[in-house]
Amino acid sequence: MSPNCFPWLLLLQLLLHSTMIAAAKVPAIIIFGDSSVDAGNNNFIPTVARSNFEPYGRDFNGGQATGRFCNGRLATDFISEAFGLPSTVPAFLDPKYSIKDFASGVCFASAGSGYDNATADVFSVIPLWRELENFKEYQKQLKDYQGEAKAQETISEALYIMSLGTNDFLENYYTVPRGRRTQYTVDEYQDFLVGIAEGFIRDLYKLGARKLDLTGIPPMGCLPLERATNPASRDACNEMYNRVAWNFNSKLKRLISKLNRELSGMTIIYGDIYYLFLDVIKKPLTFGFEDANSGCCATGIFEMGYLCNRRSLFTCQDANKYVFWDAFHPTERMNLVIAAEIMKTTLQVFK
Active site residues: 35, 326, 329
Question: 29, 282, 265, 222: which is closest to 138 by C-alpha?
Answer: 29
- Answer yes or no: are the C-beta atoms of 109 and 160 closer than 8 Å: no
- Answer yes or no: are the C-beta atoms of 128 and 31 closer than 8 Å: no
Rg (C-alpha) for the chain, rounded Å, is: 19
SS3 49: coil
CA triplet 74, 80, 81: central angle to 5 degrees?
Answer: 95
Angle between helices 5-22 and 332-345 (to 10 degrees): 40
Q: Which residues contact 259 (CB under 8 A, 6 or more apart)?
A: 198, 201, 202, 266, 268
* Neighbouring C-alpha atoms within 13 Å toward the C-beta of 70: 26
DSSP label at residue 212: E
What span, in angstroms and rounded, lies between the C-alpha atoms of 53 and 69?
Answer: 10
What span, in angstroms and rounded, lies between the C-alpha atoms of 327 and 135?
Answer: 31
What span, in angstroms and rounded, lies between the C-alpha atoms of 107 and 197?
Answer: 18
| Residue spans of alpha helices (H) in the chain | 5-22, 75-82, 99-102, 117-122, 128-146, 148-157, 166-167, 186-206, 224-228, 239-262, 274-282, 332-345
